[in-house]
Structures are given as C-alpha cells and as structure tokens.
C-alpha cells in the first residue's frame, strides 16, 4: 500500500482520503446514515487511512456518522482523523466565521464527543476569520497540540500570506485547499509554497462536485439546497464548456477501460505538492469505486499529461470555488 509522508509530522497517509461533506447532507441533497457508515467501513477496509470531516457538514451529522462508524468497526488507532473548526451557526442555519479562543475550545470538545475519540490527528481552521487575530487562534491550537489533544495543526482555504501570518505563532503542518483538473489556481503559488516549507496538503473537490465523473449532461438539473445549483460551472454556456472537456477525458479513460473519475483522481494525486486528495462517498458503491486507485495506477504519465493538456486547451479560465465560502463576517 502506497503511503506518503505527511509534511513534518510522523504520520504517513494514503494518496487518497475519504471526504465526508456529502455524508452530512447539507448542500448535497441528503444522505442515508447507514449507507454513509457502510461507506466508511468499505473505505477503511479497502486501505484508506485518512478521513476528513467537519462540524459544519450537516451541522454535526457527518462527525457523528464517522464516530459511529469507527466505534462500530474498530480501528480508530489505524485511522488519521482530520476535522475542522471555526464556523458557527444559529437555529436558522445561518453561518459565520469565528476562530476565537472561546469558540475553538468549545468546538474541540464538541468534535471529540461526536467523533467518540479523545484526540484529533489533524485539527484545521476551516476558513480564515478576519475578525480574530491569527495570534489568538494559533496560540490556542498550540496549547492543544502541546497537550496531545491534537497531533497536527492545519489550515484550510488559506492564502500564502495567511499561512505565513499563522506560522508566526504556531507550526502549520497542513493545508486543505480546493484542487482538481478544473480548479488549478493553487498551482501558481500555494502548492510551491507548501513544498518549499514542507507543509502537507489535503486537497478537496477532487471530482469537482461530480463534474469529473462524467455522469452529467446538458439536461442535468439540481434541486434547491444542492450546492451545484449555485456553482457557475453548472450553468449555461460554462456548463457546456466543462461538459465538452469531460467528454474528451472520457475518451482517454475508455481506451483503458476505466472511469473518467479514475483519470481525474490519478491526475490529481500525481501533481507536485499534493500529499493526499480527498474524495467523497455517499454510499458503499461510491466508496468501492474510489478505493480502486489504491490497487494500482491505470494511466501512464504521458496519458495524464495529455489529459492535462485537454483541460488547458478546452477551459480558458477555471472558475474557483469561492461561491462555496460562508460569509466572511
């Protein structure tokens, strides 16, 4: 089983990890709890050793599902468990950023309870909070790190400048940025910065919200509450451009008797600076499809380069995932 060094830590991770946003249901149209628990089991049994979650995924639901799955199936000590903090919500599910010391200490206790564990391997700031000094957030994380409650300090959706500011007050062991064939903005400066500073990366959005699976057509529609309904990539002329690119990728995959998703995953995990790519799974079938990558590569380096060239020639300018960001205030 391929394992990769996780930055400056003593952890080694599989090249893909299980993302659990879809399990929480929020902005994904719902998910069956037992299906999600089974998806965790299949992923872990299949070799995946990193699970990433967050309180905001279903307002605690995704963390609870992960906790139940690990409790039921055992093996917590074999899993690198990553979660996040810094987004709070009210009874109307209105979200705002809050990375204050008080909020952080409340959230770590809530996450430990929901996950049914006494430590978090990778604890990440979910989004930057302009209203809280980096010093307050990072020094609180450092306290938890020194106590062993968390094993690594991570940040998510941070710019290079924000990472540098955070590093003044505590080590930053990992970054979780969006990255896939259609969203490559971080290649310009963020990935090189992480490589230079030995910061591990947990990239998310590997299949670009399902767009890189090849399962959508120009007639596809999305229900209210589904995040794709608000994503510019899934609208009008832009949608047609991306679908055209996917069709060209599908031809490469078909020649190797493989799925387009496998091509997208392999391309992502082979990019310089990518430590682990997160892939979501709503049910056992999706989990089974994802773990195929752990049994060996399908595509050659030349085929991956060809796929990348198709994207460069077909998609003029990627549209980033900022539409998913919660309010900054």
d(CA 262, CA 256): 10
Q: Which backbone phi and psi does 5 adopt, to 5 degrees?
A: -65, 130
Paired tokens of 164? 């540098």
Q: Which of 57, 123, 145, 204 is labelled catalytic?
A: 57
d(CA 159, CA 149): 26
Closest-CA residue to 205 (of 227, 224, 190): 227
Closest-CA residue to 228 (of 314, 319, 95, 323): 323
CA atoms within 13 Å, Cβ hemisphere of 179:
29
For 263, residues 6+ apart whose C-beta sits below 8 A from its C-beta are: 249, 252, 253, 298, 299, 303, 304, 307
Dihedral angle computed from the Cα positions of residues 150, 151, 152 and 153, in that order, rounded to the nearest 10 degrees? 20
d(CA 145, CA 122): 10
> What is the Cα gyration radius of the chain?
19
Residue 57 annotated to the active site:
yes
Paired tokens of 26? 């929020």
Closest-CA residue to 8 (of 275, 277, 278): 275
Buried b (16+ CB within 10 A) or exposed e, 232-255: ebbeeeebeebbebbeebbebbee
Q: Tell me the catalytic residues.
A: 57
């Amino acid at each position: 089983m391929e394992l990769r060094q996780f930055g400056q830590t003593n952890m080694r991770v599989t090249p893909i990890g299980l993302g659990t946003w879809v399990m929480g249901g929020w902005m994904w149209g719902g998910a069956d709890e037992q299906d999600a628990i089974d998806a965790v089991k299949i992923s872990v049994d299949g070799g995946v050793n990193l699970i990433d979650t967050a309180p905001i995924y279903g307002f605690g639901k995704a963390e609870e599902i992960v906790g139940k799955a690990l409790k039921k199936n055992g093996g917590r000590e074999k899993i690198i468990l990553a979660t996040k903090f810094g987004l709070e919500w009210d009874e109307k599910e209105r979200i705002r950023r809050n990375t204050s010391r008080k909020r952080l200490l409340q959230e770590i206790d809530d996450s430990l309870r929901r996950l049914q564990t006494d430590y978090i391997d990778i604890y990440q700031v979910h989004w930057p909070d302009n209203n809280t000094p980096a010093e307050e957030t990072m020094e609180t994380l450092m306290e938890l790190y020194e106590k062993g409650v968390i094993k690594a300090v991570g940040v998510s959706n941070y710019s290079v400048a924000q990472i540098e500011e955070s590093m003044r007050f505590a080590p930053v062991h990992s970054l979780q940025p969006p990255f896939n064939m259609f969203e490559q903005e971080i290649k310009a400066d963020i990935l090189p910065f992480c490589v230079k500073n030995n910061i591990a990366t947990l990239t998310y959005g590997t299949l670009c919200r399902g767009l890189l699976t090849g399962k959508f057509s120009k007639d596809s529609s999305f229900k209210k509450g589904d995040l794709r309904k608000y994503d510019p990539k899934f609208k009008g002329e832009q949608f047609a451009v991306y679908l055209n690119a996917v069709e060209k990728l599908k031809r490469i995959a078909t020649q190797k008797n493989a799925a387009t998703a496998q091509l997208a995953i392999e391309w992502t995990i082979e990019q310089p600076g990518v430590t682990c790519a997160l892939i979501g799974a709503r049910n056992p079938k999706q989990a089974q499809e994802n773990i195929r990558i752990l049994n060996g590569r399908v595509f050659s380096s030349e085929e991956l380069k060809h796929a990348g060239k198709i994207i460069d020639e077909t998609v003029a300018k990627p549209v980033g995932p900022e539409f998913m960001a919660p309010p900054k205030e």
